[in-house]
Amino acid sequence: MESREFLSKVQIPPVTQLLVWAPVENKLAYVWNYNIYLKKNATAEAVQVTHNGKVNKILNGVPDWVYEEEVFASNEAIWWSPQGKYLAYLQINDTGVHNIEYSLYGNDQYPTTVFIPYPKAGCVIPRARLFVVDVENPSRQSEVLVPKSVGVGDHYLRTVTWVTDERLAVQWLPRRQDSVLLQIYDYDGTNWKETSVRINNYMVLTYFPAAPYFAANNMSFYKVMSNDNGYKHLHYVEAVKKKKKKLFFQNFHIHTCHSEIFLEKHISLALRISISKSGHSAPECLTCSLYQDRCQYNSAYFSLNASFFRMDCYGPGLPLFTLMDNRGPAKEIQVLEDNKKLEKILTTELLMPTIKRIRIKATIICQLPNPHFTEKKYGGPASQNTDYVFRLEWATYLCSTEKVIIASFDGRGSGFQGDELMHAIYGRLGTYEVEDQISAVRKFIEMGFIDKDRIGMWGWSYGGYVTSMVLGSGSGLFKCGIAVAPVAKWDYYDAVYTERYMHRPEENTESYKNSTVTDRAKNFKSVQYMLVHGTADDNVHFQQAAQISKALVENQVDFEAMWYTDKDHGLSGKARYHLYAHLNHFLQNCFAEKK
């Protein structure tokens, strides 16, 4: 019986934080009030596994704010063993972590205050522990201990991978995040013992370290890591012999399904490797012959046994989704969605101009005369803004309706061009990535097709930070700029993200000082600046915009500001519509013809 067929029979609390089915036998684990409960089947009584869960203090089976945002990129912290015999779970202790507090204004007479444990750079971070529960006897729990080499100081748990029901692989990171330790554990009937196999990979971690994919011998594994030249490759690690072999290709993501590995090259290709006890096959390209002009950015989603997969093409043409047969050479079975209706709307109803892309250190969308607008939405370390993904967004409107040239540029610090370029801003955020945006604009001016007196820039989050740093550089190139939810000072942002690139403030004092927007406030007198933020932003706190505003006022700088009451970092709902209408008015004023 499939889980979905009897979900209605399962009795669980109405406000459940997490619900996870076991891979077999329809066992169920869920989290309620930060405690874990087990159900051996749909109608069985729930067994409470943990009893110490407490909001903002002890969290079992779910991550806290910073683990969800910066470590797991997920709200799940429960991992079933392959046959559902054991359940591993994370326990987060936020007891010593300082709270961020902000008001929710609502409609009542008095606002309410929200408290969230939020470790800022240099402050106390959460304590993470990993436990394993015997499902048949939930009172039997054992802790998977962090290796002493990492556990001697502050650290993070990064990934949990079940190899077998009795073997577990865990990646641990020291607080500095400049190395990752992959430790394999075996269960001896009482405890989870460290094996002699331990892979310590030293690197500058400006990306999330990939989880391992284990081979048939349950000891060797495949893992994406940098090679000696600083490019991401798939490596085969013979753990017993402690050897590492590079396989092929640079800078890709990895998807796994049973006995095959699927590689998604970041720019254009999806590849397949078949694995057996004797080794692995040569890579087979799954997308090389699939709509080559239309599809140069692809992803794939697989059936349970990998016999079929859905190939997702995201551009540069209109997105295309096809069902593929994976039993032998990959072949197309059916087109699931070809976006013919969207094509008709774009070409006939909206009468949008043809989008022309030029790649000269940047992507220029809609090469038209008049103003130039540099776009930097996130643009943080390891990001990529210039790619082959088809998008309909504000930039599309600006270039098609407002006749604005849009450029996105990936400078130093961006990803998928090798570690040397990505690591250039390590320890010094707000330097080279800012300089490169300015250099790109100078290059555009030299090319002669833009109005050098009407150049603007905008960004959101890290992009808002870079925009503000660029406008505050005093370059004289920009007439205006928009910063949505920007960072002002890295001291105010979370410890996991900030220290990954900047270390702790006391270890890197000069770089922290040089990376602040507020210290550049006097240079904003020569530009038109709009500052936007949500008052309930739990990510980049409203404190950041408040400090920028204060610094501008103290330096007698005239600027525009817009806040969105009770809105978080995403400014969702009606606020999003209001935002873009407001930004559009700002740009129209900025780019108005001189009289």
Q: Summarize pLDDT for 122-165 with one digit per residue, the tens.
A: 999 999 999 999 999 998 999 999 999 999 999 999 999 999 99
pLDDT of residue 206: 56
pTM of the model: 0.88
- pLDDT band at residue 399 using 50, 70 and 90 as cut-offs: confident
Spot the catalytic one: 64, 533, 537, 541: 537
- The predicted structure's pLDDT at residue 5: 47
Q: How far apart are CA 102 and CA 564, in angstroms?
A: 13
In the predicted structure, residue 228 carries a pLDDT above the cut 90: no
Kindly tell me if the per-residue pLDDT of 297 is higher than 50: yes
Distance of alpha carbon 336 from the chain centroid: 28
pLDDT in tens, 465-478: 999 999 999 999 99
Is 268 an active-site residue? no
Q: Is the pLDDT of residue 367 over 60?
A: no
| Per annotation, catalytic residue among 226, 461, 475, 511 | 461
d(CA 263, CA 271): 5
Over residues 65-87, the pLDDT tens digits come to: 999 999 998 999 999 999 999 99
- Between 131 and 179, whose confidence is greater? 131
498: confidence class by pLDDT, cuts 50, 70, 90: very high
184-206: b (≥16 Cβ within 10 Å) or e: bbebeeeebebeebebebebbbb
- Model pLDDT for residues 556-575, shown as the tens digit of each residue: 999 999 999 999 999 999 99
Residue of 84, 189, 78, 79 whose CA lies nearest to 136: 84
Which of the 8 DSSP states describes residue 70? I
CA atoms of 356 and 352, how far apart (whole Å): 12
Q: What is the mean pLDDT of the segment spanning 216-222? A: 84
In this prediction, residue 307 has a pLDDT band, given cuts at 50, 70 and 90, of confident
Count of alpha carbons within 13 Å of 177, Cβ hemisphere only?
A: 22
pLDDT score at 197: 67
DSSP string, 152-199: TS-EEEEEEEEEETTEEEEEEEETT-SEEEEEEEEE-SSSEEEEEEEE
Instruction: With cut-offs at 50, 70 and 90, classify the pLDDT of residue 15.
Output: low
For residues 343-352, give the mean pLDDT: 62
Q: Is 537 a catalytic residue?
A: yes
Strands 232-238 and 221-226: antiparallel
Residue 267: the pLDDT is 41
What mean pLDDT is reported for the chain? Answer: 84
At residue 243, the pLDDT reads: 47
Is residue 196 pLDDT above 90, yes or no?
no
Q: Residue 328 pLDDT more than 70?
A: yes
578: annotated active-site residue? no
What pLDDT score was predicted for residue 264?
41
Catalytic residue among 235, 503, 533, 569: 569
